[in-house]
C-alpha cells in the first residue's frame, strides 16, 4: 500500500507543469484579424484587395521582412476597427473555438492556474473567449488597443513585448515559470519559445492549419488537443484520440467521403485503386477502418491479418466482395449504402417504360440508318397502363409512387408483407400480377432462390404485348426463354440492365442472347450509377462509420446486430462483442457487480454468430475492469467510450 506521506512527498517533488497556448488558429480555428477584416471592411468596395494586403503584411511580420510591430501597425490602419467591430468579432470567435478545445473544457477548468495564453493578438477579443473556459485573466498575455473618444482604435501599447519580434520569448522570460513548460501552437513564434530553451516541449497544433516549416521542428505533431492530453496522460474526454484511428480508403472513394472522414479527425490514407489480397494482408495490420468499393476482395485471409480493424465501409450497395461471416467472427462491423442510389434506378426504370411503350429503341436505330418512319402504330402513353412491380422494397416501392404520379395503375407482389403506398394494389401471387400487368418491372433482391424466377412458365402467364424490365439481378430472368418470347412477339419490349454474366471491367467484351433483338434496351448495370448516387453514398457510409466509432450504434450494419443507441451523456459506455453462446451477458454483469458498478443502461442484441452488449455506467471505474471484461470467455472485442 502507498503511504500517504510518501505519496504527498512524491507529488510535491514532481515538477509543476505549465501549458502555454497560442490563440489565433490554435485556441480558435481562425486568425482573428481575418475575421475582423470581414466585419470592419464588410461594405468596403476594395475589401478583397485590402484583405490581400493584410495577408501579405501578416506574412512579412512572420518571415521577418517587416518588424512585428510595424506589421501590426499597418494592418490595423487598413482594418480601422472600432469597439462595435470588436464586439462583433468576439461573437464570431466564440463560435470558432477549436473543436478539440471545446470538448476538453474540463482540462482548462481543472488546470486553470497553469494554463497561459500568450499571443501577439489583443486582449479585447482574446480575454472574453478564453475566460469562458476558466482561464484566469492574469494568465492571459496579449497586446492592448488604444481607443479615441469615438471608440475607434488609434494604436496599441507599444511597450508590450508581444508587439515585438521574439515577443513571446521575452514574455515567458518575465514570467519565469518554476516548472516544466509545454507550448502548444501553430506558428514559428510558438516554436521560438522552445528554441530559446524556455520550454521543455513544443507541440505543433495542426487541427486548423499546418505550416510545414514548423512541423519539422516540433517535438510532437498534435492534430487535436485530445492527442496532446493523451500523450501527457492528462484527463481527456475522449478515450482514444481519433487521429490515432487509421482509416484506409481504397478505389478512389468520392472526395466528399474523404473530407468527412478527415473532418471527424481520423488519420486518413487514400488509394486510387484497389489492392490485391497480398497487398491488403500487409496493409491492413494497422488499419482500424477500411473503406472499399466493389472491386476489393476482403477475404477471410485478409481479415486474419486485420487485428485492429473495427469496421468496413462498402461505398456501394452490394457486399458480396466481403467475407461477412469472417468479419462477424472477428467482431468487425460492416456498413454499406443500401438506399443511396434507389432514386437513380427508379428514374431509369421510368425512362425505359416510356421509351419501350413508344417503341423508341427501334426508332432510334432506324433514324441512325437514315430511315424516316413517322407513324403512331405500336406507340402508347403510359398513362392508365398497369404496372406490375415484383419486389416492393426500397426501389420497388419508390417506383410505385413515381409511376402513380405519371398516371399508371400500380400492382405489386412481394413475398414479405408490405404496406401499399398510394393507391397501389397488392397481388396475392406472382401469377396474379403477371396476368394483369402491361409492364412488369423486377426489383427483387439477389437471393439464390430467385434464380430464373421469371422463366418460360412466368413469361407465358404475362399478357401478350407486355413490356418487361429487369434492373435488379441478372440471374432472376431465364434469358433463353425470354429471347424466344421476344422473337415470337409475346413480349413486345424489354429493358435489361443486369445480366447473369457481366464483364468484370470495361475492357472485357459483353455478350448476350438479347443483343440485336427488336425493342430491347440493354444497359451496362448503370441503374444506380449517377453522380448524385455517388455523392449520397459518400455521405451515408462515413456517417454510419463515425456513428459506430463514436457511439457504438450499428444501425443498418449488414452483419452486426442492429442497435440504435442514445447519445452518451455523463457516462462511460462499455462495448462488448462476443461469440453468441449462452451466459456471456451474465458474466459481464457479474464482473460489473464485483467491481461495484451500477448499470445506467444496457442494450443487447445477437445474430447467429455474435452478441453485442452495450452497457452505460456512470461511475469512475478501475482500469482493472477493462482487463476483466476483456478476459471474459468468448470475448471477441471490447472497447470503452468516455
Binding site for ligand NAI (CB under 6 A): 317, 338, 341, 345, 390-396, 413-416, 443-446, 450, 453, 471-473, 497-498, 525, 527-528
Question: Shortest gap between Cβ of 379 and ligand NAI (angstroms)?
Answer: 26
> Which residue's CB comes closest to ligand NAI?
393
Residue whose CB is less far from ligand NAI, 166 or 294: 294
Q: d(Cα 355, Cα 382) in Å, to the nearest integer?
A: 10
Select which of 70, 263, 277, 502 is catalytic: 502
Active-site choice (103, 105, 525, 634)? 525
Cα-based distances in Å from 472 to 389, 435, 492, 513: 12, 21, 20, 18
How far is Cα 484 from Cα 360, in angstroms, rounded to an integer? 21
Looking at beta carbons only, is 388 or 552 nearer to ligand NAI?
Answer: 388
| d(C-alpha 318, C-alpha 315), whole Å | 9
Helix spans in 153-296 (H): 167-175, 188-195, 212-215, 225-231, 255-263, 277-283
Q: Which is nearer to ligand NAI, 185 or 528 (CB)?
A: 528
Closest listed residue to residue 437, CA positions, set 416, 454, 419: 454
535 is catalytic: no
* Nearest distance, CB of residue 340 and ligand NAI, angstroms: 9
CB hemisphere CA count around 173 (13 angstroms): 11
Smallest gap from residue 97 Cβ to ligand NAI (A): 42
Q: Nearer to ligand NAI by C-beta: 229 or 427?
A: 427
Asked if 18 and 176 count as a contact pair (C-beta separation under 8 A), the reply is no
DSSP conformation letters of 377-422:
TT---STTPEEEEE--SHHHHHHHHHHHHTTPEEEEE-SS--PPPT
Catalytic residue status for 490: no
Q: How far is the CB of 476 from ligand NAI (least distance, A)?
A: 8
3-class SS of residue 590 = helix
d(CA 285, CA 282): 6
CB of 413 to ligand NAI, least distance (A): 5
Q: Select which of 85, 343, 443, 473 is catalytic.
A: 473
Residue among 57 and 345 whose Cβ is closer to ligand NAI: 345
Residue 193 DSSP label? H
Task: Look at phi and psi of residue 269 and say left if phi exceeds 0, alpha if psi is from -120 to 50, else beta.
Answer: beta
Give the nearest distance from C-beta 466 to ligand NAI in angstroms.
Answer: 18
Of the pair 444, 494, the CB lying nearest ligand NAI is at 444
CA distances from 362 to 369, 417, 470, 490, 521 (A): 11, 39, 19, 17, 10
Query: Which three cell numbers, joined as nine digits, stand for 549?
Result: 466509432
Residue 69 among the catalytic residues: no
Q: Between 439 and 444, name the residue whose CB sits nearer to ligand NAI.
A: 444
State the minimum distance, in angstroms, from the CB of residue 534 to ligand NAI. Answer: 12
Name the residues annotated as catalytic. Answer: 473, 502, 525
Amino acid at each position: 500500500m502507498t503511504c500517504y506521506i510518501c505519496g504527498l512527498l512524491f507529488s510535491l517533488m514532481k515538477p509543476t507543469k505549465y501549458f502555454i497556448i497560442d490563440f489565433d488558429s490554435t485556441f480558435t480555428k481562425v486568425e482573428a484579424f481575418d475575421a475582423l477584416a470581414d466585419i470592419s471592411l464588410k461594405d468596403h468596395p476594395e475589401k478583397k484587395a485590402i484583405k490581400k494586403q493584410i495577408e501579405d503584411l501578416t506574412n512579412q511580420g512572420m518571415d521577418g521582412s517587416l518588424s512585428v510591430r510595424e506589421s501590426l501597425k499597418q494592418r490595423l490602419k487598413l482594418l480601422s476597427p472600432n469597439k462595435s467591430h470588436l464586439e462583433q468579432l468576439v461573437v464570431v470567435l466564440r463560435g470558432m473555438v477549436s473543436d478539440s478545445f471545446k470538448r476538453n473544457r474540463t482540462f482548462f477548468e481543472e488546470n486553470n492556474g497553469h494554463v497561459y495564453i500568450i499571443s501577439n493578438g489583443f486582449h479585447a477579443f482574446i480575454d472574453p473567449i478564453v475566460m469562458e473556459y476558466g482561464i484566469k485573466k492574469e494568465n492571459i498575455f496579449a497586446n492592448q488597443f488604444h481607443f479615441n473618444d469615438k471608440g475607434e482604435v488609434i494604436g496599441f501599447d507599444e511597450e508590450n513585448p508581444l508587439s515585438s519580434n521574439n515577443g513571446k520569448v521575452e514574455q515567458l522570460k518575465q514570467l519565469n515559470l518554476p516548472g516544466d513548460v509545454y507550448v502548444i501552437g501553430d506558428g514559428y513564434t510558438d516554436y521560438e519559445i522552445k528554441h530559446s530553451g524556455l520550454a521543455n516541449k513544443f507541440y505543433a497544433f495542426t487541427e486548423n492549419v499546418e505550416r510545414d516549416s514548423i512541423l519539422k521542428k516540433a517535438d510532437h505533431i498534435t492534430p487535436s488537443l485530445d492527442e496532446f492530453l493523451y500523450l501527457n496522460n492528462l484527463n481527456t474526454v475522449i478515450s482514444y484520440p481519433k487521429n490515432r484511428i487509421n482509416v484506409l480508403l481504397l478505389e478512389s472513394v468520392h472526395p466528399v467521403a474523404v473530407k468527412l472522414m478527415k473532418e471527424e479527425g481520423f488519420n486518413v490514407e487514400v488509394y486510387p485503386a484497389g489492392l490485391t489480397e497480398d497487398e491488403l494482408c500487409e496493409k491492413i495490420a494497422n488499419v482500424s477502418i477500411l473503406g472499399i468499393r466493389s472491386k476489393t476482395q476482403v477475404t477471410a485471409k485478409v481479415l486474419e491479418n486485420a487485428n485492429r480493424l473495427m469496421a468496413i465501409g462498402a461505398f456501394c450497395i452490394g457486399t458480396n466482395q466481403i467475407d461477412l461471416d469472417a468479419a462477424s467472427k472477428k467482431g468487425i462491423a460492416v456498413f454499406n449504402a443500401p438506399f443511396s442510389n434507389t432514386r437513380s434506378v427508379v428514374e431509369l426504370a421510368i425512362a425505359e417504360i416510356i421509351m419501350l411503350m413508344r417503341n423508341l429503341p427501334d426508332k432510334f436505330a432506324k433514324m441512325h440508318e437514315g430511315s424516316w418512319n413517322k407513324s403512331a402504330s405500336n406507340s402508347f402513353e403510359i398513362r392508365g397502363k398497369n404496372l406490375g412491380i415484383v419486389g416492393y422494397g426500397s426501389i420497388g416501392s419508390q417506383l410505385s409512387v413515381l409511376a402513380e404520379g405519371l398516371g399508371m395503375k400500380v400492382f405489386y407482389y412481394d413475398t414479405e408483407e408490405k404496406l401499399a403506398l398510394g393507391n397501389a394494389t397488392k397481388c396475392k401471387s406472382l401469377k396474379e400480377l403477371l396476368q394483369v400487368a402491361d409492364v412488369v418491372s423486377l426489383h427483387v433482391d439477389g437471393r439464390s432462390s430467385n434464380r430464373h424466377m421469371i422463366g418460360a412458365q412466368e413469361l407465358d402467364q404475362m399478357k401478350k404485348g407486355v413490356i418487361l424490365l429487369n434492373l435488379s439481378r441478372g440471374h432472376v430472368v431465364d434469358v433463353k426463354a425470354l429471347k424466344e418470347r421476344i422473337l415470337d412477339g409475346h413480349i413486345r419490349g424489354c429493358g435489361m440492365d443486369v445480366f447473369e454474366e457481366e464483364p468484370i471491367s470495361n475492357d472485357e467484351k459483353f455478350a448476350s442472347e438479347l443483343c440485336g433483338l427488336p425493342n430491347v434496351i440493354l444497359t451496362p448495370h448503370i441503374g444506380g450509377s449517377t453522380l448524385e448516387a455517388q455523392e449520397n453514398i459518400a455521405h451515408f457510409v462515413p456517417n454510419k462509420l463515425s456513428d459506430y466509432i463514436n457511439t457504438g450504434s450499428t444501425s443498418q450494419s449488414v452483419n452486426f446486430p442492429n442497435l440504435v443507441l442514445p447519445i452518451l451523456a455523463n457516462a462511460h459506455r462499455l462495448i462488448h462483442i462476443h461469440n453468441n453462446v449462452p451466459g456471456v451477458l451474465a458474466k459481464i454483469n457479474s464482473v460489473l457487480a464485483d467491481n461495484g458498478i451500477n448499470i445506467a443502461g444496457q442494450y443487447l442484441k445477437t445474430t447467429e454468430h455474435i452478441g453485442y452488449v452495450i452497457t452505460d455506467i456512470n461511475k469512475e471505474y478501475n482500469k482493472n475492469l477493462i482487463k476483466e471484461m476483456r478476459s471474459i470467455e468468448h470475448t471477441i472485442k471490447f472497447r470503452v467510450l468516455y
